[in-house]
Structure 1
Amino acid sequence: MASVLIVDDHAVVRGGLRQFLADTDDLEITAEAASGLDAIALVEKGDWSLVLLDIALPDVNGLEVLKQIKRLRPGLPVLIFSMFSEDEFAIPSLEAGASGFLNKDSPPNQILTAIRTVVGGARYLSPTLAEKLLAGVAPVGRKLAHETLSRRETEVLLMLSKGTSLTRIGEILHVSVKTVSTYRARIIEKLGVQSNAELTRYVIEHRLG
């Protein structure tokens, strides 16, 4: 059973989706948040298969919440579920790390398809947006963060994730500790994390080690 965190400030929307997904055998809303800050706090403490996120929130813009979620849990799929225009917000959402964009006016079967697609690890694009991407109207989605690392940065990342000290990494690579620190700083910036613990979690979530 895939667990879903829904982030929407309208109780009617949350209730409707909860009831809608209750009729499925593979999806369940296990947590709800009515604001961006509440959503971020839940993501820090819990674990879900998917976050269903609105853009229009009362405290923090949904796209900023998305960025915070991806910093905390890079491997956690986020599906934007909004009344805003796909033409205006779909591409920025994808560029910020979303796994898909879905308009709230979408028919039930499309909502289920989108959620199941994203839970399954793929990106969801509406037929309209997919056609635009294929036609070259919109840019193709960006690379995963770790795919931007150099070979040496990847080596350092994997050693850091195993708890290897900077001094020991320097000895293994025959470089100074200062150079290793520079590699670490670049890795942290590229992956959008804050600590070695988050680096380790990133490696585990993306099965890099």
Structure 2
Amino acid sequence: MYNILIVDDHPIVRAGMKSILNAEKGMLTLDEAQNARETMLKVSSNNYDLILLDLTLPDNQGLNLLKDIKTIKKQTPILILSVHPEEQYGIRCLKAGASGFISKESAPFELIKAIRKIQAGGRYISPTLAEIMATQIFDKDGPRHLRLSDREFDIFIGIAQGLKVTELAEKFKLSPKTIYTYREHVFTKMGFNSNVELARYANSNDLIV
């Protein structure tokens, strides 16, 4: 018996994952959550063998929820399922403690394969993410966006998507002044002189969904 918590804000997605898992012998999905608050309440009062976590929820952004879960249940494996490309968040999730990262566009068999790998005590890294990691090993400098902190990266992606400072401030619950500070850090670390340069870099590196 394998107890899994499915975290996603879309009922159809949760139902689909439950259907896939319930069809597998030896798998039992017991619980689900639709937002960060509900997730933390359930994680605090229950023990799960695995958490399937959507990276983007209405009341939480980026890697925050992953990190929050790990502070109270460090040993609980977390598999990230996301619409974001692996190039964008895959390595960051692994560094933050995730046991694997796969795209929501993946076939059902890949989800099962990932869960089986994690269930056996390993980590699941897709071929795409493995290639990215291998490139970083042989490229000592690595892509410039890896120089950014997680919050700086969130702001970087928001700017690349065309969000204004006020929109970013509302999205991340920060003051406009703080957003400007993060923006300055991004430009300094990555050597940009304009939002156009930033957006061009993001698109050329496939960082925009």
**Shorter-chain TM band:** 0.5 to 0.7
CA distance in 1, matches of 2:50, 2:76: 6
Q: Which amino acid aligns with 1:69?
A: I
TM-score, with structure 1 as normaliser:
0.63
Matching of residue 68 in structure 1 with residue 68 in structure 2:
yes
- SS where residue 74 of structure 1 aligns? coil
CA distance in 1, matches of 2:11, 2:62: 17
Residue of structure 2 in register with 1:121 after alignment: 121
- Post-superposition Cα deviations, 1:25-71, rounded to whole Å, max 9, x if no partner, equal 12221110000111111110001110000011010125111101100
Deviation at 1:3, TM superposition (A): 0.9
TM-score, with structure 2 as normaliser:
0.63
- SS where residue 97 of structure 2 aligns? coil
- SS where residue 52 of structure 1 aligns? strand
Matching of residue 10 in structure 1 with residue 7 in structure 2:
no
Matches within 5 A, 1:69-108: 69-108=69-108
- SS where residue 32 of structure 1 aligns? strand
Residue of structure 2 in register with 1:42 after alignment: 42
- Post-superposition Cα deviations, 1:158-182, rounded to whole Å, max 9, x if no partner, equal xxxxxxxxxxxxxxxxxxxxxxxxx
Q: Which runs of 5+ in 1 are unaligned?
A: 140-209
Question: Structure 1 residues 110-119 or 71-80, which shifts more?
Answer: 110-119
CA distance in 1, matches of 2:39, 2:14: 13
CA distance in 1, matches of 2:14, 2:28: 12
Residue of structure 2 in register with 1:191 after alignment: none
CA distance in 2, matches of 1:97, 1:49: 15
- Post-superposition Cα deviations, 1:63-108, rounded to whole Å, max 9, x if no partner, equal 1111011000110000000111110010111111111101000011
Q: How many equivalent residue pairs?
A: 139
Q: Which amino acid aligns with 1:52?
A: L
Deviation at 1:120, TM superposition (A): 1.9
- SS where residue 6 of structure 1 aligns? strand
CA distance in 1, matches of 2:99, 2:62: 14
CA distance in 2, matches of 1:134, 1:91: 11
Residue of structure 2 in register with 1:22 after alignment: 22
Q: Please tell me whether the aligned partners of residues 3 and 30 of structure 2 are also in contact (alpha carbons under 8 angstroms).
A: yes
Q: Which segments of structure 1 move beyond 6 Å, counting only runs of 4 or more?
A: none
Q: Which runs of 5+ in 2 are unaligned?
A: 144-209
Q: Please tell me whether the aligned partners of residues 53 and 62 of structure 1 are also in contact (alpha carbons under 8 angstroms).
A: no
CA distance in 2, matches of 1:127, 1:2: 26
Deviation at 1:133, TM superposition (A): 2.0
Deviation at 1:128, TM superposition (A): 1.4
> Identity, % of aligned pairs?
40
